[in-house]
Structure 1
Amino acid sequence: MASSGSASTASLAAKTPSPLSSKVTSVLSSSYADTEFREALALLDERGVLNTPDTRRQLRLDLQKEVIDSNGEIIAEFSKVSEQLRRIGATIGRLNESFNEMKREIGTAHQATSSSLGEASRLMIQKQQVEQKQTLLKAFKGNFILSDDEAAALTLMSEPVNDLYFATLAKAKKITKDCELLLGFENQTLGLEVMELASKNLNLGFQKLYKWVQKEFKTLNLESPQIGSSIRRALRVLAERPTLFQNCLDYFAEAREHILSDSFYTALTGSSASGVENTSTKPIELAAHDTLRYVGDMLAWVHSAAVSEREALEGLFIGEAEEIKKGIQAGRENEIWRLADEEGDGARDFDAVKTLNDLVDRDVSGAVRILRQRVEQVIQTNEETILAYKLVNLLNFYKSMFSKLLGPGSSLVDSLGLLEAEALRQFRSLARDHVAALQGDFVQTPTELRPPEFLFEALEQLSAIMKTYETSLASSAEKEADFETIMVEAFDPFMSGCATMAQTLQPPSDSVFLVNCFLTALNSLAPFEFTPTRTTQLQAKFETERSHLVESQYVFFRKESGLDALITALSILGNGAEDVEKVPLLEAAQAPALTQAGQLLDDFLPSALMDAMENLKHLQDSKLVQQITEEAAERFCVDFEQVEEKLMLADELAEQKQGDADELQSLRALFPRTSGEIRVLLS
């Protein structure tokens, strides 16, 4: 048992680790990567601890001593804090006692002043209500009621129309519009009363403005460089009452019509309608002996007056066009009685340019009436055809000018159109009278087939008319169409007279006479760009008569050369063998006939060209005579070539059939002339 006990103790001692092994095991199992371990090492390094055996033995004791010392310091500090907290607790106790005492005193004071505070609260509430009512009343009066000064500025005629008036008028319009809000409440009495008062003041204000504008129109000086801004502003505002606005325009147009009528009368006669002489201007009537200048001066005066009137009035309408348009539109919406009239036609927008043109047109209407009377008198007393047309062109020129200035629908343009039509009728009448007076001259043909004198006179007159018409403002297409009526009256009758005279002549004299007439007419019409159609027609007629002359000369060459029968006989035959065999059998191809034809040809050729040109000696264009004769000679040469060719073919065919050339009668031997010789002699 003893041995067994010692053996177990030895095994237990072997199993129990020794302190050294435990330490070694602990060191070996420690992780040097642990953060806390690294921080501990860093702390030891900072303290500068040396790694000695004494230090390692005292390290734990030193550390425990430092911890004990630190805890002692902390406890000492906490004792001081505890002392301060005791003092604070005592102070808070004293404050609580003071608070309770004050609370008791406040309660006593509240009980004593509660009734007074209630009364003051009620008074404050009443004060706020009164202030709100005062603010509301002030706002109401400021927005819905005109002050006495404002009402006086708006309605009294003694007060000027100035910025205060327009501001008050704008306020009155705003009041009438804002009254719609008052009418939306259940009690509409206030809204109705305010609207009635505002509408009354507004109507009185517009009546005042209407009368003021009329007064200003009486003294308005259109000759001034600028019309005052006040009148423009007044018209812009008055446009909200279209009826009053239109009445003002009518009044102004009537006043300006009288002024311009008197001015035009003074410019015509040198004295006013009342007899007051004006020595500063030269009367237009002094030039009455010069009809064209007289009418031109009157039209120029009216044009200058219309331009000046329009330039002066542009500031009233063009600059304020949009505002006036808005005002008239608003006025039409408010004037209920006008809606019924406009529903059928449709409400028309305000056109500032058209209104301006209409107003200027009405301003000069009085002067235009005087102008029309004077011009009608001039037209009716005129007996000169060219002057009559110059009046037509002058009136057409000014009609175009006024059409651009005032528009094509103005009464001034219509009046000038009527005067132009009347002048044109007078021109046609004079032209027809002139043609009727020349009817006897249409029968007698001039000597030497010259164009008749009446044609020269007519073309001279027509050239003067065309030079006058060339200055018109119409486009080329319009010019040609408009001038066609003039050609019918001033040109066609004389050309018809020439055609009638040509019917009494024998060919080719009739063609020579017509060609001379056509050339003269073409020379007169060609320089003008608005006669291409007439020029083309005359050229076609000229070419027709020219072809007749060429044919006449060609016939002359054939007959006088003695080859007419031969050319006629051979022309029906072709170049085939059967037709060529018939050539010697023709009567015109027999030896006596060919010999005689050759002799006549030889006698004719030396003077053929001169004799042919002598036939056209009355043709005034020598170059044309040469051209016509050359064309006829060329046709004759072509015919001679055909004759020559067929005679040679006939000789060749006869030689082929009979073989003995000595016994044959050669047709070319009887007719030796060649086409080359003919061309040389006729060239």
Structure 2
Amino acid sequence: MAASLRGTNALSARITSVLSASYADLDIRSALETLDDRDVRNTAETRRRLRLDVQKEVIQCNGEIVTDFGEVAEQLKRIGSAITSLNTFCDEMRSHIAAANRETEPALEEATSLINNRKQVETKQQILTAFNSHFSISEEESTILTSTAEPVDEDFFQALTRVKKIHHDCQVLLGTEDQRLGLEVLEQSSKQINAAYQKLYRWIQREFKTLDLENPQINASVRRSLRVLAERPTLFQSCLDFFAEARENILSDSFYAALSGSTSDHQNLNINPIEFQAHDPLRYVGDMLAWAHSTTVSEREALEVLFISEGDEIKRSIQAGLESEPWLRGEGDEEVFDGKKALNQLVSRDLTGVARLLRQRTEQVIQSHDDATLAYKIANLIGFYKSTFARLLGADSEVLELFNNLENSAMRQFRASMRDHIAAVQSDLAVAPADLSPPDFLEEALQMLKVLAKSYDTSAAAAESSGDGFQVVLAETLDPFLSGCENLGKGLQAPGCDIFAINCLLAVKDVLSSYTFSADRVREMVDTINEHTAKLVEYQHQYLTYTSGLSTLLEALSGISDSTDSLKTIPEQTAFKPDALVNVSQQLDEFLPSALIDAAENLKQLQNRKTVQEITEEAAGRFCEDFEFVESKMLAADDLLYKESEEDEEEQSPALRDLFPRTSGEIRVLLS
């Protein structure tokens, strides 16, 4: 029972083991494949011999392996002997190599040292080559830069630019410990630069001698040379001085040729000289001034191409030159270079010779003529060109001093001639004309004044000022003659003195009223005329009152007030007695029909009929006012007398109105 139980358990364990085995295991699969290759059948005999066969095969395989290892051992022995031999040969080679090394070591060290030295030499050679290429120029470039035989062209400017760069880069060399090389290069480059600027300076001077300013296509190299030379302000200014002197001589010769038709070396030119074709002195001066103005415009346009077109470059160059030569800088914060100002100054200097000749010829014309009108016209012409040149060359141009002197000289001649003329006229002054018209000397003065006013009106002074400049002319050409007329008028009786004054002033006013620049003087004359007119009005008023008899009544009423007591005294006045008042009334009636005609006859010598009418009408109006005053007083007195007579019941005396019947309305109608 127990045995069966154990057999059952063993079988169960066997079955469990078989069932738990994984047929995916590689070993099991390999064993199964081996069994399948041998075609083993699952029999008892086969199962019994299988183990033996496997063990036999394993033993055979192990034997073969041992045999193979024996052969390997033999081979290893032979390899060991070969290695031993090789070691022996290697030891021998090492001994030979060590001996060779001991023998070749000095040579190798020397070769290494030579190679290192070679590398250092090559490095130094590269440094030297780079230094020479950057800090030195070739002999050819040095010749181009300093030799006067070589032209100033693009190669020159390129060489100069390179040398200036070398000079600038020397600062790097001066920053090293050993400054000797930097100082040597700096000294050499400075000499080369100075020589180059000297060459450029002389070349520009030669070009200036033959430079044709009339050609609009001025050589561009001259402009570039000036810009470069500006880096040396001293040389640049010296060049400008040389140029100004050369141009002064050229323009002086040209002006002399334009005047006389021949040059200073007596070479005749095929032109019409100004001295021969300008017979009138004013035209002669005008032609000279016109030539000077035309030449100035041409000169300025030509020089503008040289300076203004390169103005900024020249300014920067001069600034750079002043930074390198600070001792040339002036005091203050003045501008380094003003192209337009420099241009105006240069043109002014070019015209110095022309100005000298112009002054000589113009002063000769002024002093050789005693005509005051001509002198004043010349002064105005010079003033016109002075303003023109001021706009062209600036207000601080030296040329303007010439025009100031010439203008003053012409005005001095004008004043002298006028004073001589006034002195001659004053000796002939006697009495005013019988018809009280303006005297002949005033008419002559007014004719001259018309010419002078017209000349001033066309001048630049009339447009630039409010007429102050013409006051000088009036003081010289008009005031003395008006003073003479005033002296003549003092010898006349009224109203002749006022009539004569008004005639003279109206004649002057007619001449000056056409010009705006004499408006102030015209207003002064109008005020003076009004003063004389007021005197004539007063004269006419007195004439009307005395002729009509009204003056007697006015005198009697002068002390009468508006009070009742004062008004009552009017009939008691001598002038208001019946007989006297009737006589005045008759005189008034005789006066009224021809009153205005008789009054106008007093002013018949006054040449302005309108003024005569205005004066007479104003005097008549004042006469009417006086009559109204007298009438009002008489009516007031009549009213008082009428009231008293009614209260006293006395016989009433005749009324003043009855004795003096004219009314103010009738007077105004008759005198209108």
Q: Which residues in structure 2 correspond to 1:275-290 (within 5 Å)?
A: 275-279=266-270, 281-290=271-280
Q: CA deviation at 1:479?
A: 4.7
Q: CA deviation at 1:159?
A: 1.3
Task: Kindly indicate whether residue 126 of structure 2 is the aligned counterpart of residue 135 of structure 1.
Answer: yes
Check the 8 A contact 1:442/1:498 in 2, yes or no: no
Hey, what's the Cα distance between the residues in 2 that align with 1:276 and 1:661? Answer: 123
After TM superposition, the structure 1 stretch with the greater mean CA deviation from structure 2, 471-480 or 388-397, is 471-480
- AA matched with 1:586: Q
The total of aligned residue pairs comes to 586
- AA matched with 1:353: K
Task: Kindly indicate whether residue 214 of structure 2 is the aligned counterpart of residue 223 of structure 1.
Answer: yes
Hey, what's the Cα distance between the residues in 2 that align with 1:140 and 1:603? Answer: 131
Q: CA deviation at 1:373?
A: 1.0
Task: Kindly indicate whether residue 362 of structure 2 is the aligned counterpart of residue 375 of structure 1.
Answer: yes
Match of 2:389 in 1: 402
Match of 2:440 in 1: 453
Match of 2:13 in 1: none
Q: Which residues in structure 2 correspond to 1:516-531 (within 5 Å)?
A: 516-531=503-518
Pick the aligned partner of 2:470 from 483, 495, 504: 483
Secondary structure of the corresponding residue to residue 398 of structure 1: helix
Hey, what's the Cα distance between the residues in 2 that align with 1:121 and 1:573? Answer: 151
Task: Kindly indicate whether residue 550 of structure 2 is the aligned counterpart of residue 563 of structure 1.
Answer: yes
Q: Which residues in structure 2 correspond to 1:139-158 (within 5 Å)?
A: 139-158=130-149
Match of 1:300 in 2: 290
Q: Which residues in structure 2 correspond to 1:236-247 (within 5 Å)?
A: 236-247=227-238
Pick the aligned partner of 2:323 from 333, 336, 355: 333
CA-atom RMSD in angstroms: 2.8
Q: CA deviation at 1:72?
A: 7.3
- AA matched with 1:272: T
Q: CA deviation at 1:136?
A: 2.4
Match of 1:655 in 2: 642
Task: Kindly indicate whether residue 660 of structure 2 is the aligned counterpart of residue 671 of structure 1.
Answer: yes
Q: CA deviation at 1:664?
A: 3.0
Pick the aligned partner of 2:538 from 546, 551, 560: 551
Secondary structure of the corresponding residue to residue 461 of structure 2: coil
- AA matched with 1:682: L
Check the 8 A contact 1:477/1:530 in 2, yes or no: no
Pick the aligned partner of 1:355 from 342, 351, 370: 342
Secondary structure of the corresponding residue to residue 656 of structure 1: helix
Hey, what's the Cα distance between the residues in 2 that align with 1:650 and 1:337? Answer: 106
Hey, what's the Cα distance between the residues in 2 that align with 1:591 and 1:123? Answer: 164
Match of 1:89 in 2: none
- AA matched with 1:313: L
- 1:595-632 per-position Cα deviation (integer Å, ceiling 9, x unaligned): 01000000000000100000000011111111110000
Hey, what's the Cα distance between the residues in 2 that align with 1:588 and 1:250? Answer: 99
Q: CA deviation at 1:661?
A: 9.0
Q: TM-score, normalised by structure 2?
A: 0.82
- 1:56-78 per-position Cα deviation (integer Å, ceiling 9, x unaligned): xxxxxxxxx9xx89x779x999x
Check the 8 A contact 2:433/2:439 in 1, yes or no: yes
Check the 8 A contact 2:645/2:651 in 1, yes or no: no
Secondary structure of the corresponding residue to residue 447 of structure 1: coil
Q: Which residues in structure 2 correspond to 1:72-151 (within 5 Å)?
A: 129-151=120-142
Hey, what's the Cα distance between the residues in 2 that align with 1:383 and 1:275? Answer: 33
After TM superposition, the structure 1 stretch with the greater mean CA deviation from structure 2, 136-145 or 673-682, is 136-145
1:123 and 1:550, CA in 2 relative to 1: closer, same or farther beyond 3 A? Answer: same
Match of 1:13 in 2: none
Query: Mind listing any 5+ residue stretches in structure 2 that lack a counterpart?
Result: 1-18, 31-82
Hey, what's the Cα distance between the residues in 2 that align with 1:674 and 1:151? Answer: 122
Secondary structure of the corresponding residue to residue 530 of structure 1: helix
Hey, what's the Cα distance between the residues in 1 that align with 2:29 and 2:261? Answer: 133
Match of 2:576 in 1: 589
Secondary structure of the corresponding residue to residue 438 of structure 1: helix
Q: CA deviation at 1:245?
A: 1.0
1:76 and 1:605, CA in 2 relative to 1: closer, same or farther beyond 3 A? Answer: farther
- 1:134-187 per-position Cα deviation (integer Å, ceiling 9, x unaligned): 332232222211122211111111211111111111111122222122222222
After TM superposition, the structure 1 stretch with the greater mean CA deviation from structure 2, 125-134 or 305-314, is 125-134
After TM superposition, the structure 1 stretch with the greater mean CA deviation from structure 2, 112-121 or 548-557, is 112-121
- AA matched with 1:656: K
Match of 1:428 in 2: 415
Check the 8 A contact 2:389/2:400 in 1, yes or no: yes
- AA matched with 1:443: A
Query: Mind listing any 5+ residue stretches in structure 1 that lack a counterpart?
Result: 1-64, 78-100
Aligned residues with identical type, % of pairs: 49
- AA matched with 1:297: D
After TM superposition, the structure 1 stretch with the greater mean CA deviation from structure 2, 173-182 or 632-641, is 173-182
Secondary structure of the corresponding residue to residue 618 of structure 1: coil
Hey, what's the Cα distance between the residues in 1 that align with 2:470 and 2:129? Answer: 79
1:121 and 1:671, CA in 2 relative to 1: closer, same or farther beyond 3 A? Answer: farther
Q: Which residues in structure 2 correspond to 1:627-638 (within 5 Å)?
A: 627-638=614-625
- 1:392-421 per-position Cα deviation (integer Å, ceiling 9, x unaligned): 101111111111111223232111210110
- 1:429-463 per-position Cα deviation (integer Å, ceiling 9, x unaligned): 00111111111343321121101111111111111
- 1:518-558 per-position Cα deviation (integer Å, ceiling 9, x unaligned): 11111111111111221111111111000000000000010
1:649 and 1:139, CA in 2 relative to 1: closer, same or farther beyond 3 A? Answer: same
Match of 2:632 in 1: 645
Hey, what's the Cα distance between the residues in 2 that align with 1:315 and 1:572? Answer: 92
After TM superposition, the structure 1 stretch with the greater mean CA deviation from structure 2, 128-137 or 147-156, is 128-137
Hey, what's the Cα distance between the residues in 2 that align with 1:507 and 1:195? Answer: 102
Check the 8 A contact 2:201/2:235 in 1, yes or no: yes
Hey, what's the Cα distance between the residues in 2 that align with 1:117 and 1:656? Answer: 171
1:626 and 1:477, CA in 2 relative to 1: closer, same or farther beyond 3 A? Answer: farther
Hey, what's the Cα distance between the residues in 1 that align with 2:562 and 2:125? Answer: 132
